[in-house]
Amino acid sequence: MKRKLLVTLLTTAMTISMLAGCGSTASTEATTPAADTAAEETAAPAEETADAADSTASTDPVTLKVFSNLPDRKNGQGLIEQMVIDEYLAANPNVTIEVEALDEEAYKTKFKAYAMDGMPDVVSIWGQPSFLDDVLNAGVLAELNEADYADYGFVSGSLDGFKKDGKLYGLPRNTDIMAFYYNQKMFEDNGWKVPATYDELLALADDINAAGIVPVAMDGGDGWPMAIYLTDLIVKINGTHGDIVSEAIANADFANPVFKQATELFAQSAQAGLFQTGYDSQDYATAMNLFTNGQAAMFYMGSWESSMALNQDISEDIRTNIRAFTMPVVDGGKGKATDIAAWNGGGYAVSASSEVKEEAIKFLNYLYQPDKLSKYGWENGVGMSAQDQTAYMSGSETELQKQFMDILNNATSVSGTPINDCGPSVFKTVMESEIQNASNGTTSAEDFLTSIGNACK
Amino acid sequence: MQKLYSNKLVIFSLVLPGLLVFLFAILAPICLSVYYGFTSYSGMGQAEWIGWENYKTLLRDANFGRSLTNSLLLAIGFIFIQHPIAIIVAAVLDKLQGKAEGVFRCIYFIPNVISVAVIAYLWKFIYNPDFGLLNNALRALGYQGKINWFSNDTAIWSVLVVLIWHGFGWGMLIYYTGIKNIDPVLYEAASIDGADQVSTFLRITLPLMKPVIQVNVTMAIISALKQMETVYLLTNGGPGNSTQFAANYLYQQAFKAFRYGYGNAIGVVFIIICLLVTVFLNKIFADRQPA
């Protein structure tokens, strides 16, 4: 009897401990720190009981799962996203929104996992082939009705990256412009002028180097900013970008002389000391710090960093003097100063398998009402949306914001998706790693172009 | 109690958790890896069977070759730089006695206590050409240039220094414990016979440390092969692929390029290499055991 009792006890204890083990794993997975904060902020507003089922559809309790690539919910775009979510919850008390937010790399990995066993209802996506092709082929995103967005003020062409076979699967959040941020005061103090041509930029780099300052801080460790630099040069040399890049990727052949010229020009610039020593192994934060600490005169980065002008962590002397200019024209190139590297990258979509698809689309449309994401984004200086923002100009914008607005308004053409994001993800990975070798002269422009061509096969 | 342990249900219930963990957390993933290694799976949609294609690509993949060469370099660095120094330091520590022994033991072990992420960033800053400690020290000595410690040619050596430095404490601690376990009577006998410190070390300490050295060397080689986190945080394999290591390359291919099939093939080859190396090492040590 005693033995049987012991046996039963032991077996039960073991089963319980196993169950407990499983339970705790599941709960740690479900609560990343970011999701935690978000969950607190969006605590279930409704206390509907089971009889809610009897009431009308609009008051049925609905839980929307939002999967976002903006883990910082207190600053920048994450804050804007959370603001709109909070407003939506206040307006729709029957809705509960659970946000899970991860940074980009972790986000993309988990996105693929979700794609296999059920997506959250509303997800962040990128309207670029390197990300979206596989996703659309797997059929995990719901089709949207393009006509619904006719009066949302989307900038012309900004929806293109989110379409396949003429059908719309997502909406863009930002318009990104690539630029050289520069320290205006440092330029004036030293008598340096904003370069109008690429040769002037290289000559300026020599002057800046001679003054013991880094000319351009470059996040070369990541590869993608250099790929965008290449896009910028292709635009200035060829006048257009998207068409020749798509063609090269489709044929897995980068023999077009424009690519060679752009790559060689880029490599020459890097080797002539345009960027900081060891740029090809330094990350985003290090490059940005060089600029915001005044150790570098310029910083090559996208318009999403225009909130630097309001960042209290940067000393006032530098913060208030940050200005921007776009890639100068290349001698003999077909691109004008107003042909710029700009594109509509990140955005949102709804899961095709969502059980509350209608509510999810309703929420998506709410996000994109012109006076939500777009307006709040503008007012908080977090860069430009893919929608018309002229109505929100208040006069209290930072100089940088106005500059970027001018650059966009005066643009005669935009590059579209940068070269690294135009092909499959294998192409992107190879390109972002090989461009480091091409820039520092370890491999020749020809070898670089051959290897990125091979990656398209 | 005796009877309890002879009850099959009890035995089964005690073995079951371990068995389940082995089946579902180790064996099943390995089998799945082998399967996916033969597909062109991208992580989404259907996995298409492509036979040996991934392995053929892998054979021609210069970056994978580079990863293995780097692992080999690291293993050599561990065995011929880190471990000899660790043994000598352990022997010296043993001779120090008293408070100094404890203090230095702690100091040498500190890098192991600090998180890898912190270590990686610390060294990133030390190596930074513009504001790093190394270049600033050189500047103080009168050198005016900026040395790029992470250029294509120098990066691997800079990474090796960090890895060797970081793993040093462990190796030293194990050797130190080994030395402490040597019977002091032997040293007394040696000193009575007039042996000096060097010959005591070579004739007594080293031979008696053989089992410890075997364990340490095996662990060093395995850790060189599976090196990932420090490299990922320090250079992520760059510039180019000059500091690429197999585990990091696997991660990049599977989770950044979304070539899950190819990533699994790398994983399979990686497991085979690790097994071969372990078998090979065991054989070497087994042969020498009787001597």
CATH code, domain with B227:
1.10.3720.10
Domain contains B5: no
β-pairing, A322-325 with A174-183? Answer: antiparallel
- Number of Cβ within 10 Å of residue A27's Cβ equals 9
Domain contains B9: no
With an 8 Å Cβ cutoff, are A428 and B257 in contact? yes
Interface of A with B in 258-297 (CB under 8 A): 276-278, 280-283, 286, 290, 295
What residue segments make up the domains of chain A, in order of their start?
57-173+345-392, 177-342+400-454
Q: pLDDT > 90: what percent of chain B? A: 60
What is the rounded average pLDDT of the residues A358-383? 90
Whether the per-residue pLDDT at A353 is higher than 60: the answer is yes
With an 8 Å Cβ cutoff, are A280 and B44 in contact? no
With an 8 Å Cβ cutoff, are A278 and B149 in contact? yes
Conformation bin of residue A68: beta by default, left when phi > 0, alpha when psi is -120 to 50: beta
Taking CA–CA distances from B1, the nearest residue in chain A reads: A3
Q: Residue A397: what pLDDT? A: 85
ipTM: 0.85
Given CB atoms, is A100 within the 8 Å cutoff of chain B? Answer: no
Whether the per-residue pLDDT at A143 is higher than 70: the answer is yes
Whether the per-residue pLDDT at B219 is higher than 60: the answer is yes
> In the structure encoding, which two tokens stand for residue B211, read together?
């089992």
Residue A407 banded pLDDT, cuts 50, 70, 90: very high
Residues of A with CB below 8 A from B16's CB? 14
Range among A11-20, A80-89, A307-316, A392-401 with highest mean pLDDT value: A80-89
Indicate if the alpha-carbon torsion angle A25, A141, A350, A81 is positive or negative: positive
Whether the per-residue pLDDT at A44 is higher than 80: the answer is no
Which of A7, A214, A281 is the closest to B7 by Cβ? A7
Location of structure tokens 């009850």: B7
Rounded Cα distance between A209 and A212, Å, is 5
Q: Residue A33: what pLDDT? A: 39
Residue B192 banded pLDDT, cuts 50, 70, 90: very high
Rounded Cα distance between B121 and B113, Å, is 15
Given CB atoms, is A115 within the 8 Å cutoff of chain B? Answer: yes
Residues A253-277 have pLDDT tens digits of: 999 999 999 999 999 999 999 999 9
With an 8 Å Cβ cutoff, are B258 and A134 in contact? yes
Core vs surface per residue A209-228: b (16+ CB within 10 A) or e: eeeebbbbbbbbbbbbbbbb
Q: Quick one: how many helices (H) and strands (E) in chain B?
A: 17, 0
Determine the distance in angstroms separating the CA of B269 from the nearest CA of chain A, rounded to an integer.
20
Whether the per-residue pLDDT at A15 is higher than 50: the answer is no
Assess whether the region A57-173+345-392 and the region A177-342+400-454 belong to the same CATH fold. yes
Which of A6, A14, A426 is the closest to B257 by Cβ? A426
Mean pLDDT of chain B: 90
Q: Residue A58: what pLDDT? A: 59
The per-residue DSSP string of A13-80 comes to HHHHHHHHHHHHHHHHHH--HHHHHHHHHT-------GGGGGS-GGGS-EEEEEEES---SSSHHHHH
> Domain tally for chain B?
1
Element (H, E) at A350: strand A346-350
With an 8 Å Cβ cutoff, are B13 and A115 in contact? no
Residues A222-258 have pLDDT tens digits of: 999 999 999 999 999 999 998 999 999 999 999 999 9
Domain contains B131: yes
Given CB atoms, is A109 within the 8 Å cutoff of chain B? Answer: yes
Whether the per-residue pLDDT at A65 is higher than 50: the answer is yes
Determine the distance in angstroms separating the CA of B97 from the nearest CA of chain A, rounded to an integer.
44
Look at residues A289, A355, A284, A266 and name the one whose alpha carbon lies nearest to residue A103: A284
Q: Residue B99: what pLDDT? A: 83
Given CB atoms, is A138 within the 8 Å cutoff of chain B? Answer: yes
Structural domain including B144 reads 22-288
Residue A50 banded pLDDT, cuts 50, 70, 90: very low
Q: Residue A42: what pLDDT? A: 41
Given CB atoms, is A4 within the 8 Å cutoff of chain B? Answer: no
Determine the distance in angstroms separating the CA of A227 from the nearest CA of chain B, rounded to an integer.
13
Whether the per-residue pLDDT at B278 is higher than 70: the answer is yes
Domain contains B2: no
Residues of A with CB below 8 A from B259's CB? 426
SS3 category, A413? strand
Determine the distance in angstroms separating the CA of B46 from the nearest CA of chain A, rounded to an integer.
8
Residue type, A176: D
Residues B18-42 have pLDDT tens digits of: 999 999 999 999 999 999 999 998 8
Indicate if the alpha-carbon torsion angle A370, A371, A372, A373 is positive or negative: positive
Cα dihedral value A116, A120, A121, A122, nearest 10:
-110
With an 8 Å Cβ cutoff, are B44 and A116 in contact? yes
Residues of B with CB below 8 A from A134's CB? 42-45, 258
Residue type, A204: L
What is the rounded average pLDDT of the residues A192-219? 96
Interface of A with B in 404-443 (CB under 8 A): 425-426, 428-430, 433-434, 436-437, 440, 442-443
Determine the distance in angstroms separating the CA of A318 from the nearest CA of chain B, rounded to an integer.
19
Residues of A with CB below 8 A from B9's CB? 7, 11
Residue A52 banded pLDDT, cuts 50, 70, 90: very low
Which of B3, B14, B235 is the closest to A281 by Cβ? B235
Residue A37 banded pLDDT, cuts 50, 70, 90: very low
Whether the per-residue pLDDT at A300 is higher than 60: the answer is yes
Interface-testing mutation among A6, A9, A10, A277, with chain B (most B C-beta atoms within 10 A): A277
Look at residues A216, A263, A199, A220 and name the one whose alpha carbon lies nearest to residue A419: A263
With an 8 Å Cβ cutoff, are A440 and B239 in contact? yes
Which of A14, A214, A434 is the closest to B13 by Cβ? A14
Mean pLDDT of chain A: 86
Lowest mean pLDDT among A192-196, A343-347, A371-375, A387-391: A387-391
Q: Residue A263: what pLDDT? A: 97
Residues of B with CB below 8 A from A443's CB? 240
Q: pLDDT > 70: what percent of chain B? A: 98
Rounded Cα distance between B81 and B168, Å, is 10
Residues of A with CB below 8 A from B5's CB? none
Domain contains B15: no
Whether the per-residue pLDDT at A287 is higher than 90: the answer is yes
Domain A57-173+345-392 has CATH 3.40.190.10: yes
Determine the distance in angstroms separating the CA of A395 from the nearest CA of chain B, rounded to an integer.
39
Which of B14, B43, B236 is the closest to A112 by Cβ? B43
Taking CA–CA distances from A275, the nearest residue in chain B reads: B130
Residue B47 banded pLDDT, cuts 50, 70, 90: confident
Residues of B with CB under 8 A from a CB of A: 3-4, 7, 9-10, 13-14, 16-17, 20, 42-45, 124, 127-131, 146-152, 155, 235-242, 252-253, 255-259
What is the rounded average pLDDT of the residues A189-203? 96
Residues B144-174 have pLDDT tens digits of: 888 999 999 999 999 999 999 998 999 999 9
Residues of B with CB below 8 A from A437's CB? 152, 239-240
What is the rounded average pLDDT of the residues A174-202? 96
With an 8 Å Cβ cutoff, are A433 and B238 in contact? yes
Residues of A with CB below 8 A from B236's CB? 221
Q: Residue A433: what pLDDT? A: 93
Domain contains B136: yes
Whether the per-residue pLDDT at B55 is higher than 90: the answer is yes
Residues of A with CB below 8 A from B53's CB? none
**Phi and psi for A308 in degrees, rounded to 5?**
-55, -35
Determine the distance in angstroms separating the CA of B127 from the nearest CA of chain A, rounded to an integer.
10
> In the structure encoding, which two tokens stand for residue B220, read together?
């060093």
Residue A7 banded pLDDT, cuts 50, 70, 90: low
The CATH fold of domain A177-342+400-454: D-Maltodextrin-Binding Protein; domain 2 (3.40.190)
Domain contains B284: yes
Residues 6+ positions from B70 with CB-CB distance below 8 Å? B156, B243, B244, B245
